[in-house]
Every structure is written in structure tokens, then in C-alpha cells.
Amino acid sequence: MKLSQLVRTQAIKPMLASTDRDGIIAEMVEVLVAGGAAPESLKPELVRLVMERERRMSTGFGRGVAVPHVKHKSVTSASAAIGLSPKGVDFNAMDKQPVYAVFLLLSPEDRPDDHLHAMEVIFRNLGNERFRRMLRQSGTADEVWRVIEEADATHV
């Protein structure tokens, strides 16, 4: 699986409006639902589930990134959104530093292997300092998409 197969082009938000973790999660769920990853009626439940997951353990993994994620029975395929916060936001990250890039992953509940594979793809890319830097420097959805395509080309 490539990152470009996981990230929905309609779910790239290069300028998140929210300035706190909870708002960003709601905003990211909104763009994924608007992009067709889940039915509109699930939006409140998905926000609640992602927030419950965050309360158990932060998905702010350090290095300026967070990867909130949730599995749900009504989600048919793994899908991700990318949001960027130029000023950074407190995500209770492991390294106590602000988060600038957020990947929100929704996966089918009945296909745990798909979820693990999607997480592997996301973390393989986020582990690359150049990828994180280029992502953070992106100012438009098109620029983010070019960073994704470049990452896919280097992981063929």
C-alpha cells in the first residue's frame, strides 16, 4: 500500500483552523467524512471514539506529528486525512513538543490487518525527517499531495 492510496485527496487540510487537540480531531473527522470515508451520520460517534482513544493514550508521537486513529464497523476501507497546523498545537505528545502535522486514520473494524498496514505506511513516512520537513513546509493541498507522491516514489 502506498500513502497516496490511503490519503483521500479531499481530506488534506494544509491550514487547520482549530488551535487545540479536540478541535483538530473534530476538524479532521469532518474532512474525512466530507471526503467519503464514512457516512455523515457517523461524524459525532467517530469524534467521540477518537477522543476516547486520545484520552487513554496520546497519539502525539513526537517530532511534531500525531496519528489519531480509530476502527469502526461502518468504515469500509482504511482512509486517512492530513492536517497541518503552522503554529503547532499541544497534543500531549510524548516529547512534550507541539504537533504540526496530524494524520487521522479511520479503518474497518473487521480488518485489523488493513489497519496495521495503514499505520505502517504512515509511520514509515513520518519516520523520515525530510518527509516531515517537506510536509510542514507545504502551504496548499496540492503541495501536500506532491510530498505524498514523492514519498511513494521513494518507497517503491
pLDDT value for 156: 57
Interval 103-119: pLDDT, tens: 999 999 999 999 999 99
End-to-end CA distance of the chain: give it in Å, rounded.
10
In sequence order, what are the beta bridge partners of 40? none
Residue-level length of the chain? 156
Of 66, 82, 73, 69, nearest to 3 (Cα)? 82
Fold of 3-154: Mannitol-specific EII; Chain A (3.40.930)
Which residues of the chain carry a pLDDT beneath 50?
A: none
Residue 84: partners with Cβ closer than 8 Å, 6 or more residues away: 13, 14, 15, 16, 100, 101, 102, 135, 136, 138, 144
Q: Can you tell me whether residue 103 is helix, strand or coil?
A: strand
- Its pTM stands at 0.94
In sequence order, what are the beta bridge partners of 72? 108
Cα–Cα distance, 68 to 29 (Å, whole number): 10
Domain boundaries, the chain: 3-154
pLDDT value for 145: 97
Cα–Cα distance, 83 to 21 (Å, whole number): 12
Cα–Cα distance, 107 to 69 (Å, whole number): 8
